[in-house]
Amino acid sequence: MYAIPLAPDAELRPLEPWQAPEFLAHMDRARATVDPWIPWASRSTDLDSARATLQGYADRQATDTGRIYGIWLEGTLVGGVMFVRFDAQAGQCEIGVWTEPAGEGRGLVSAAVRRLIDYAFRERGIHRIEWWNTTHNLRSRAVAQRMGMHLDGVLREYYLHNGVRHDEELWSLLSHEWPAETKA
């Protein structure tokens, strides 16, 4: 197992199906703040559904089409980052994030996203990274902006969640726009 330091008291690690109990406890703490933005938050409500969420990402990892990582702060899972979609052949991927309140405001999500961007561009040869967020998720928009992403547009009433239609922003970053040297 490996861990990538994000701060002296925080690290990024793979999040796998065997960690479903820890993931479920985290989702129980995070659900109120995560559910409006991440659809699987409202579906990961018991051990079986939490394991299924993580297994879905394990299956994507096995086919090189996605992957999920957790952010641990002082040994407690407080959030994560993921390749929602990953298509090395097409040179495109999508990064997503989430966190519970205990993980907010410390730069952990931004540090983790930088790691995924570096990996996608430098190690995997990805050309375009996408970032999708609802127009109401200002914290997510701020991460996209900190990473130097460009707003490609807004898809009006793009998806239905909890009976409400939401506008979705699409941000992107191209490999030549990412600095040659970044702080990880």
Specify the CATH number for the domain of residue 121. Answer: 3.40.630.30
Tokens of 10: 């925080």
Specify which residues 105 forms β-bridges with: none
Task: Assess if residue 65 is contained within a domain.
Answer: yes
Task: Assess if residue 184 is contained within a domain.
Answer: no
Report the domain count for the chain: 1
Task: Assess if residue 33 is contained within a domain.
Answer: yes
Provide the pairing of β-strand 67-73 with 76-87: antiparallel
Task: Assess if residue 17 is contained within a domain.
Answer: yes
Q: What is the three-class DSSP state of 164?
A: strand
Task: Assess if residue 105 is contained within a domain.
Answer: yes
The whole-angstrom separation of Cα 14 and Cα 10 is 14
Task: Assess if residue 182 is contained within a domain.
Answer: no
Q: pLDDT tens across 71-109, in order?
A: 999 999 999 999 999 999 999 999 999 999 999 999 999
pLDDT at residue 183 greater than cutoff 60? no
Q: pLDDT tens across 42-52, in order?
A: 889 999 999 99
Which burial class, exposed, middle or buried, applies to 12 when counting CB atoms under 10 A from its CB (0-12, 13-18, 19+)?
Answer: buried
Q: Which residue has the tokens 């079986």?
A: 48
- Res. 159 pLDDT band, cuts 50 70 90: confident
Q: Structural domain of residue 113, as residue ranges?
A: 4-177
Mean pLDDT of the chain: 94
Task: Assess if residue 183 is contained within a domain.
Answer: no
Task: Assess if residue 18 is contained within a domain.
Answer: yes
The whole-angstrom separation of Cα 181 and Cα 168 is 31
Could you tell me which of 177, 123, 130, 182 has the C-alpha nearest to residue 153? 130
